Amino acid sequence: MTVSAQPEALQSKRPAVSQKIAKIALVGNPNSGKTSLFNQLTGLNQKVGNFPGVTVDKKTGISQLTPNLKAQIIDLPGTYSLYPKSLDERVIIDLLYDPGSKHYPDLVVVTADASNLKRNLLLFTQLADLQIPAVLALNMVDVAETHGIKIDVPALQRELGVPVIPMNARKGIGIAALKIVMSQELEAVGRLFYEIPLELVPVVQSIKERFNLTNDYLALHFAHQHKNLKFLSSDDMAWFEEALKPVGFSSNTFQANETIARYTRINELLLDVVKVEKVNKNEKFSNRLDQVLTHKVFGYLIFFGILFLIFQAIFAWASYPMELIDVGIANLNELIQENFDGPLVNMLTEGVIAGLGGVLIFVPQIAILFAFIAILEETGYMARVTFMMDKVMRKFGLNGKSVVPLISGVACAVPAVMSARTIENWKDRMITIFVTPLMSCSARIPVYTVLIALVVPEKYYFGFLNLQGLVLMGLYLIGFLAAILSALLLKTILKARERSYFIMEFPVYKMPRWKNVGLTILEKSKTFVFEAGKVIVAISIVLWVLASYGPGNNFEVAEQQAIAEANAKGLTEEQTENKIASYQLEASYAGIVGRTIEPVIKPLGYDWKLGIALLTSFAAREVFVGTISTIYSIGEEENVSTIKNKLMSEKDANGDPFFTPARSFSLMIFYLFAMQCVSTLAIVRRETKSWTWPLAQLLYMSGLAYVMSFITYHIFR
């Protein structure tokens, strides 16, 4: 293998590199094995940050190239071309347009799928023309060979003028060779693959002069992209308009011609490099599998079967670790409370640690959900699902790709909203993000189950259809209907910013790479804990303060009153304690707020106690059970059957049971529609980069919740 760097040159340049760590960018087509390569190079030394100014994840990691040389690897979003078609892809040009920046890569590694070299080389030739030192990582060479595609690597290397490393990133083959090449100081690509059209040469020249550029192709990109470049002043903008007018610059036409010219060039240079011997066997296998998996009947049946499996897993498998976390947090709190005392300790245990527990308890579900999503993505099945669902979803202003966030929303809206990133189209993506929280997430389950157990009899139809289960399913269905009908509404309101495309590569079926699945789980769980965790913990502390303190001497009065009543009734010590807690809650700031909002929620059938529960639930729905268990003075016990007994014995002003079916259904419907989740609001703000969307969601969903529970209450009353 010939590597263009000379040993002598290496010697002289080495010290400069070892002082500052080299930055190496990974670029490549989607499905070209870029993520696998990144994971192979960096392992667990990864970090997810943000590119400045955009919400695109920036994955960086440190790779040990040789025993004494490390490099920083930046994983750039997958793209087919340097001309960006989505926000994600814009990140790449933002990085590559500024050779003077400290983030500018010293080297780019271009991953290319060997069985699809032609299309993969388009991006390579564009990068090469920017004259950045480059290496071509020719991925899945062995797979291509079994399909009869033979690539003459030395010939390809000669044609391209850069080191070409055959490899298989999934299996880890060729990584060592690639690391050695990456550790060397490589020269910029010496040849150009595209000649700038003659009529543009003068313009390119003046752009180079004005912006101090050395590369012709970069100057051409400036001409194409000037409207999207944030660092340009209005003067620059006006200058561009002036400079481009005389040549009749039409970005579309010139881009199209460039792409055609590049493909022509690639076809020429591949003529002697790639030999195709027999038909693609794997494609045939994929095709046959597709006939079943995207079949009119079986396709949907299999898809719903997989969904069923995912739900089972999320609810059944996650319950053990969730219980462990729950018990662990409770034990930790108990341990602290036994050994220490004071308001700060209470704040720590009932505020911070309880809030933290509320975050951690969702980690198992998020991990399981993303394990499934990662497997479905890795195998290529997800592309089939979006393919099957696109036509239906489009009728509702959504997109085939909206299926993933909507399904994920049943577990938790936070990762679901994050997964909407794969949707390139702005309008489709906003609608998806907006309606996803209407899907009933797992935090609503405790609310549903407590209330259903209370008012729906445990009856069986045909021996196996459980009435309570049917009601629960009905609630999920209402959530889904609300989501798609809201999408339909938004479809008419929102204006499209760009056209919606469905032009995408249909990947061949593959076995999932478990390392990638594991790293996805780790990354998503970490993002959830840190991003959503901050907010939940903060709100938990505020709520704790509001529920633990009251104005003036309210608390002492409440305590004395409770003790007096308890003594009169001859209650046990524990019952007395509970009574004190419930009286104090009523006297607290939270209690006062509950009383204040009572007139507003009365039409829905709620009293001030439920008012407190509703308010605390705005931090997170699952707080509902904890709050009502405090309000109805059950103490620390969060066992559903005792909550049920307590709620059943709660009486209204007339001495009748308070939790009538009307009240309970009204509550369930309220929780179904209302946007009671600070974490979701926080993640929506982060994903949409504006407060408009989370606020609109808050108003819309809560308004809907109010109207719907009002109707429900009056139907059942």
Contacting another protein (CB under 8 A), which of 28, 77, 133, 299?
Answer: 299
Contacts (CB under 8 A) with another protein, residues 474-513: 499, 501-508
**Candidates 281-289, 489-497, 589-597, 684-692; binding stretch for another protein (CB under 8 A):** 281-289
Report the residue number, 280 or 642, with the smaller CB distance to another protein. Answer: 280
Say if strands 69-75 and 57-66 run parallel, antiparallel, or are unpaired. antiparallel
Pattern 140-179, another protein, x by CB under 8 A: ---------x------------------------------
Nearest in space to 321 (alpha carbons), one of 309, 329, 310: 329
If the CB atoms of residues 83 and 480 are measured against another protein, the closer one turns out to be: 83
Sign of CA dihedral 188, 190, 191, 196: positive
Distance between CA 629 and CA 550 in Å, rounded?
20
- Which residues, 6+ apart, have CB-to-CB distance to 364 below 8 Å? 317, 318, 321, 322, 325
Query: Least distance from C-beta 488 to another protein, angstroms?
Result: 18
Residue 294 binds to another protein (criterion: CB under 8 A): yes
Q: Among residues 278, 296, 495, 497, which is the contact residue for another protein, using CB under 8 A?
A: 296
In angstroms, rounded to a whole number, what is the distance separating the alpha carbons of residues 290 and 423?
A: 23
Place of tokens 């997800």: 382
Site string for another protein, 513-532 (x = CB under 8 A): --------------------
Q: Does 237 bind another protein (CB under 8 A)?
A: no
Q: Which stretch binds another protein (CB under 8 A): 383-391, 444-452, 540-548, 644-652?
A: 383-391
Nearer to another protein, 141 or 508 (CB): 508
Q: Strand runs (DSSP E) across 564-604, as ranges?
A: none
Answer yes or no whether residue 118 interacts with another protein by CB under 8 A: yes
Q: Nearest distance from residue 260's CB to another protein, in Å?
A: 6
Of 85, 158, 210, 644, the one binding another protein (CB under 8 A) is: 85
Selected binder of another protein within 45, 55, 60, 81 (CB under 8 A): 81
Cβ neighbours for 406, distance < 8 A, ≥ 6 positions apart: 398, 416, 432, 435, 436, 439, 480, 483
CA separation (Å) from 270 to 147, 156, 202, 542, 702?
Answer: 17, 8, 32, 65, 60
In the set 11, 18, 228, 253, which binds another protein (CB under 8 A)?
253
Among the listed residues 95, 110, 122, 623, the single contact to another protein using CB under 8 A: 122
Q: 3-state SS string over 153-190?
A: HHHHHHHHCCCEEEEECCCCECHHHHHHHHCCCCCCCC
* Of positions 13, 191, 275, 295, contacts another protein by CB under 8 A: 295
Shortest reach from residue 502's CB to another protein, in Å: 4
- We find the least distance from the C-beta atom of residue 196 to another protein, in angstroms, to be 18
Interaction mask 585-614, another protein, x per CB under 8 A: ------------------------------
Q: Does 33 bind another protein (CB under 8 A)?
A: no
Q: Is the Cβ–Cβ distance between 398 and 428 less than 8 Å? A: yes
CB of 110 to another protein, least distance (A): 15
**169 with 113: CB under 8 angstroms?**
no
Q: Let me know: does 360 contact 412? Beta carbons within 8 Å.
A: no
Q: Which of 104, 317, 387, 476 binds another protein (CB under 8 A)?
A: 387
What is the chain's length?
717
Q: How far is the CB of 399 from another protein (least distance, A)?
A: 10
Q: DSSP per residue over 322-362, as a string?
A: HHHHHHHHHHHHHHHHHH--SHHHHIIIIIIIHHHHHHHTT
Could you tell me the two tokens for 178? 């690639």
Does 45 help bind another protein (rule: CB under 8 A)?
A: no
Comparison of 152 and 505: residue with beta carbon closer to another protein: 505
Nearest to 156 by CA among 187, 186, 124: 124
Pull the structure tokens for residue 598. 């009572």
Q: How far apart are CA 294 and CA 444, in angstroms?
A: 33
Q: Out of 260, 316, 335, 473, point to the residue binding another protein (CB under 8 A).
A: 260
Total residues at interface with another protein (CB under 8 A) = 46
User: 6: which 2 tokens?
Assistant: 């000379």
Q: Which is nearer to another protein, 20 or 284 (CB)?
A: 284
Q: Which is nearer to another protein, 70 or 265 (CB)?
A: 265
Distance CA(495)–CA(501), nearest Å, equals: 16
For residues 134 and 189, the answer to whether their CB atoms sit within 8 Å is: yes
**Distance between CA atoms of 432 and 693, rounded to whole angstroms?**
12
Of 60, 64, 280, 561, the residue at the interface with another protein (CB under 8 A) is: 280
- Interface residues with another protein (CB under 8 A) are 80-81, 83, 85, 115-116, 118-119, 122, 149, 252-253, 255-256, 259-260, 263-264, 276, 280, 283, 286-287, 290-291, 294-296, 299-300, 383, 387-388, 390-392, 400, 499, 501-508
